Amino acid sequence: MSLQDHIDIPQAPPAVGNKGFMVGYLEALSLVERLHRLLLDVIKDEFERVGVLEINAVQALLLFNIGDNEVTAGELKSRGYYQGSNVSYNLKKLVDMGYMHHQRCEIDRRSVRVRLTDKGRKIRDVVSGLFARHADGLEDKGVLGPAGIVDITDSLKRMERYWTDQIRYIY
């Protein structure tokens, strides 16, 4: 007997409208997911190349996204970059390893503000350099030009707004 025999798994609703669009939409979803995983692999490979092995790609991306700002874990979560428990775990690890400073907020003592140390800024600079090389390479090799980047970004922003609206209207 299989697991499906014991659990009532809802079936997908019948396809409505243009099946070709649905196929394209599912392919785009899969591509976004694969690209994110690939981005983490690219960052990991860069850190192996430069000999930085104590932090992982997610932590390096976290340092890059914080940049010169001073933020709380809640702000990082609300920006949509990270899952809740992963933010707290990774921030604690980065503080323990000396990549970030942390300080309790004077107004709300439950909140902790974090910022990069010099060591953290060096990691941010490695990621920034990697991204700059990639941007140059994409354009130089004719993979994507300025118009292509604008088209992709605009399309992804529209999808983000659509999904955000879907979440808002559920509740």
Sheet containing strand 112-116, strands side by side: 71-72, 112-116, 100-104
Let me know if domain 18-140 sits in CATH 1.10.10.10.
yes
Count of other CB atoms within 10 angstroms of residue 73 = 21
- pLDDT tens by residue, 73-97: 778 777 666 655 588 888 899 999 9
- Which amino acid is it at 158? R
Distances (CA, A) of 56 to 36, 68, 111: 14, 20, 25
Measure Cα distances from 142 to 45, 135, 138, 148, 149 in Å: 24, 11, 6, 10, 12
Return phi, psi of residue 7, to 5°.
Answer: -120, 135
Residues 6+ apart with CB under 8 A from 101: 95, 114, 115, 116, 117
Q: What is the domain partition of the chain in residue ranges?
A: 18-140
pLDDT tens digit string along 15-64? 566 789 999 999 999 999 999 999 999 999 999 999 999 999 999 999 99
Rounded to 5°, the CA angle 48-54-57 comes to 65
pLDDT higher than threshold 80 for residue 106: no
